[in-house]
Structure 1
Amino acid sequence: MAKRKVVITQNIDENYINAIRELLQDWEVIAGKDSSIWSNHIKDAEIIVGWKKELASSVSEQESKVRWIQTWSAGVDSLPLEKLEARDIQLTSANGVHAYPISETIFALMLSLTRKIPEYVRNQQKKKWDHSGLKLEIHEKTIGILGIGAIGKETAKIAKAFGMRVIGVRNSLKNEENVDKIAVMDELHSVLPECDYVVNTLPLTNNTRNVFGAKEFSLMKISAFFINIGRGETVVEKELIHALQEEQIAGAGLDVFENEPLDQASPLWDMENVIITPHTAGSTEYYDKRVLEDIFIPNLKNYLTESKPFINVVDYGKGY
């Protein structure tokens, strides 16, 4: 009888491989980032850890034995969700892994824009001693956080250390610690004029695609900053560019874009009131540790006893 099989499409520390093998003593464990290591095992794998686009055709076929996929990312918008749902494949994400590094990036961008750090760096390169009109503070301002998941909650907690007023925008009116006011997405237009900082942490779904465009930017304060670390396609990029060019908003910190890498012809590159990071907000030295210790291994233990994972189970209907 063939052994049950788990395929891990990442290079992970040998200690983790041994820990997984100890749990799966009668299973075959295949691990490695190079596709030559696992490509011949996909159809026989019951569990796949780490999604790759080249897996799509194999896992969609009726003869595939895949019952559970654990992604290596928080977002699942790149996966063929309809096909996975049709095959009743359980899907769990790496949601929560990014809460610390992305919330740190959010505040790095907010503080840099507020305290004119990019301008001072440019002055330093020119050996130019200039005040540059610095005046803004972050303390006691209002931050609007779109999406109150793990990242939004951590961002709200940090905001409170700055004495900020926190408005959270989510799909429900459930109260949240460190959030002063909760609004639903339908109330976004009434919330935007209150915010000095608008932070977009939304996942990409059918409901969030292009949710932020010309109307939304027109409702923001001209002194407000826009931060996007969610998904590029939740924003109409040409309308963001227009809002920045027309000084409808004060500036933006952007880690994600409609098309990545960002086209070298994009006006965003040359805007002095824009900070660009190359979709690295979630990068951290603890990534593998958090995915494996906090999510996959606890889920694996539950899968072995209850036949299902329980952490970060994706709702196919919601798309996250």
Structure 2
Amino acid sequence: MTARKLLIAQNIDASYVEKVQKIIPDWNIVTGKDKEIWQKEAPEAEIIAGWKTGMEEYTLEHENPSLKWVQTWSAGVNNLPLDRLSSRNIQLTSANGVHAFPISETIFALMLGLTRKIHTYVRSQQSKTWDHSNLKLEIHGKTLGILGTGAIGRETAKIAKAFGMKVLGMRHSGKPEEYIDEMYTSKQLHNLLPECDYVVVTLPLTKETNRMLGKKEFHLMKNTAFLINIGRGDIVVEDDLIEALNTGEIAGAGLDVFEKEPLETSSPLWEMENVITTPHTAGSTEYYDQRVIEDILIPNLKDYLDGKYPSINAVDYNKGY
């Protein structure tokens, strides 16, 4: 009898493989992010942890695919063939939640950097220029709007309270959330934006959120407000953002994600004085693999072995997240 197979398409420490193997001692576990490894193993994998571009050819193209469950290594699932996975009734879970600490730290690094002009002073240091740069803003007591109140949004709201901030949140359901003073629905976005000194985007990319923030939305924001986007680049209309930054319609932006990545060298965002860019690294952390495996994959694997749908971060194909 052929052993059941779990493919972990990542390069992970052997200690994590051992922890997973204890749960499925009779399974064959294969690890490795290189295509030469996973393209050979994917056709026979019952479970794939860490979906890679191109895997569709080696799994879903088969008439009777072995694949039953995909556990992603990222929070976003917009790059997966969702329609085909859904039509094959393949269970799908994400790594949502592993980013809450590192991304919330990045959000505040960007907010504080823009508020206290750290990026300006770094440039001055490089040119050995001693200049006050009209520093005057504080973050304490200001109003923060969080678009998307999942794990990242909740952690961001929690930290905001240490700064005495008023926190407004937006989620599709409008359901209240701890640390958030007022909750808005997505249909109330235009009511939320004018109230905010900082607008933070932590939303997934879906049909509803695609190009959600454009010319009209920037016009509604305060001209002293800052935009922070760590969600997905396509949620923001980049040309409209650049125009709003150039005209002073908003004060500045901290951006970790972009419409096209890597950010093209011709983009004006690189050199704008009121912008901080980071290369889609907000979720990077020394604990990433540990959290995916111990907090998500192993508990979900136990559910799967018991014949239940994995309970952590189950993706709703209809919603796209």
The question of 1:77 aligning with 2:90 is answered: no
Report deviation, 1:272.
0.5
Contact 2:39 2:58 in 1 (8 A): no
Q: When the two structures are superposed, what TM-score results if normalisation uses the length of structure 1?
A: 0.98
Contact 1:94 1:291 in 2 (8 A): yes
- Pairing 1:247–2:248 present: yes
Q: Which residue of 1 aligns with 2:26?
A: 26
Residue of structure 2 in register with 1:176 after alignment: 177
Q: Secondary structure at the match of 1:53?
A: coil
**Mean Cα deviation higher: 36-45 or 112-121:** 36-45
Structure 2 unaligned blocks of 5 or more: none
AA in 1 matched with 2:26: D
Asked whether the equivalents of residues 219 and 249 of structure 2 are also in contact (C-alpha less than 8 Å), the reply is yes
Q: How far is the alpha carbon of 1:36 from its aligned partner?
A: 2.1
Q: Give 2:9's aligned residue.
A: 9
Give every structure 1 segment of 4 or more consecutive aligned residues whose post-TM-superposition deviation is greater than 3 Å: none
Q: Could you tell me how far 1:259 is from its partner in structure 2? A: 0.2
Q: Distance between the aligned counterparts of 1:38 and 1:110, measured in 2? A: 40
Aligned to 2:294: 293
Q: Describe the superposition over 1:73-99 as per-residue Cα deviations: whole angstroms up to 9, x where unpaired.
A: 000000000000000000000000000
Give the deviation of 1:9 after TM superposition: 0.6
**Contact persistence 1:95–1:312 (CA under 8 A):** yes
The residue that corresponds to 1:159 in the other structure is 160
Aligned to 2:188: 187
For 1:173 and 1:50, how far apart are their aligned partners in 2?
A: 32
* Structure 2 residue 317 is the aligned partner of structure 1 residue 316: yes
Q: Secondary structure at the residue paired with 2:313? A: coil
Shift of the alpha carbon at 1:38? 2.8
Q: Structure 1 residue 36 and structure 2 residue 36: aligned?
A: yes
8 Å CA contact 1:51–1:71 kept in 2: the answer is: yes
Are the aligned partners of 2:201 and 2:228 in contact in 1 as well (CA < 8 Å)? yes
> Which shows bigger deviation, 298-307 or 168-177?
298-307
CA distance in structure 2 between the aligned counterparts of 1:318 and 1:16, rounded to whole angstroms: 32
Residue type matched to 2:269 in 1? L
Question: Greater shift after overlay, 68-77 or 7-16?
Answer: 7-16
Quote the residue 1:271 is aligned against: 272
Amino acid at match of 1:78: N
Task: For residues 24-75 of structure 1, give each alpha carbon's deviation from its aligned partner in whole angstroms, at most 9, with x where no partner exists.
Answer: 1221111112222232221111100101011012222322110000000000
List gaps (5 residues or longer) in structure 1: none
Q: Residues 90-133 of structure 1, C-alpha deviation per residue, up to 9 Å, x if partnerless?
A: 00000000000000000000000000111111222222222111
Alignment check: 8 A CA contact 1:140 1:163 kept: yes
Q: 2:57 is matched by which residue type in structure 1?
A: S
Decide whether the 8 Å contact of 1:43 with 1:63 is kept in 2. no
CA contact (8 A) 2:43 2:58 kept: yes
Question: C-alpha separation between the residues in 2 aligned to 1:88 and 1:54?
Answer: 19
Which residue number corresponds to residue 282 of structure 1?
283
Aligned ranges 1:49-198 → 2 under 5 Å: 49-61=49-61, 62-198=63-199
| Percentage identity across paired residues of the two chains | 63
Distance (Å, rounded) in 1 between the aligned partners of 2:240 and 2:268: 12
Query: Could you tell me how far apart the structure 1 residues matched to 2:134 and 2:222 are?
Result: 19
CA distance in 2, matches of 1:232, 1:35: 27
Deviation at 1:302, TM superposition (A): 1.1
The match for 1:206 is 207
> Which whole-Å CA distance do the structure 2 matches of 1:22 and 1:125 have between them?
53
Structure 2 SS opposite 1:38? helix
**TM value normalised by structure 2:** 0.98
Equivalent-residue separation in structure 1 for 2:308 and 2:177 (angstroms) = 32
Residue 228 of structure 2 is matched in structure 1 by 227
Number of matched residues? 320
SS at the partner of 2:306?
helix
- Equivalent residue of 1:174, what SS? coil
